[in-house]
Structure 1
Amino acid sequence: MEQYIEFFTNHIGLGLIWVGIAVMLIMSWFKSKFTPIKQVNPQQLTMAVNRENAVVLDIRAQADFNKGHIANSVHLASEKAKQKEFSTIEKYKNDPIIVVCVTGMTASGVADSLFKAGFTQVSTLTGGVGAWQSAGLPMTSGK
């Protein structure tokens, strides 16, 4: 314990950075545990689609979607997602929805907007389409 105190007194700037990172990690953990938006892995996505008729909502660019996407996924233009224009997917409001993007980063913001717009069961695919492909799962091409 004395070494920590000595380090902090000798390196106040580094100590504050270390404490800041620790606080951010703890806050991130709490946020992920208490958010209504859950994260699913590719296997959980497959089970949700097969057992609960979940809808996969792909928010990548149209060109990327056309090159390859998860089978039966619904495309929502990224412009509409950013503008919170969800009228084209209103019919899925009470269905489980799993939002998918390239890496999983953009999906969380869109999922939060969907939840605030009244969509009741919203999740995101951890790692996005990249995680799907890394798991060796199939993609379909075309519209």
Structure 2
Amino acid sequence: MDQYIEFITNHPILSLAWVGLVFLIVSGWIKSKFSAVREINPQQLTLLINREDGKVVDIRAQKEFNAGRIAGAEHLSPEKAKQSDFSSLEKHKSKPIILVCATGMTAQGIANAMHKAGFESVYVLSGGMGSWQSASLPTTTGR
């Protein structure tokens, strides 16, 4: 214990950095546990589609969507998504909605907006289309 106190007094900036890092990790973990939006992996996505009639919503650009998407995915333009214009998805409000973007980062904020707009169960594909393709799962192309 004396060594810890000595280290902290000799290296206050480094000690504060460690405390800050631990705080960020713990707060991020707590936030994810109590969030209304859950991240799921590709296997969980297929289970949601097959068992609960989940709807995949792809929020990538139209060009990326046409180049390769999850079968049955509906496209929502990034512009509409960022403006919280979910009118095209109103009929799916009670179904599980799985948002897919390129890496899984963009979808999180939009998923929170969808939850606030009244969508009952919103999920985000962790890792986005990259994780779907890394798992060697099928994609479709075209319009």
Normalised TM-score (structure 1) = 0.97
The residue type paired with residue 6 of structure 2 is E
Matches within 5 A, 1:119-138: 119-138=119-138
Where does the alignment leave 5 or more consecutive residues of structure 1 unmatched?
A: none
| Structure 1 stretches of at least 4 aligned residues deviating more than 6 Å after TM superposition | none
Identity %: 56
**d(CA) in 1 for partners of 2:85 and 2:3?**
55
Aligned equivalent of 2:48: 48
Matched residue of 2:29: which SS?
helix
Matched residue of 2:57: which SS?
strand
Aligned equivalent of 2:9: 9
Matches within 5 A, 1:1-143: 1-143=1-143
**d(CA) in 1 for partners of 2:101 and 2:72?**
15
**d(CA) in 2 for partners of 1:133 and 1:10?**
49
**d(CA) in 2 for partners of 1:134 and 1:6?**
47
Matched residue of 1:98: which SS?
strand
**Root mean square deviation, CA, Å:** 0.9
Normalised TM-score (structure 2) = 0.97
The residue type paired with residue 39 of structure 1 is E
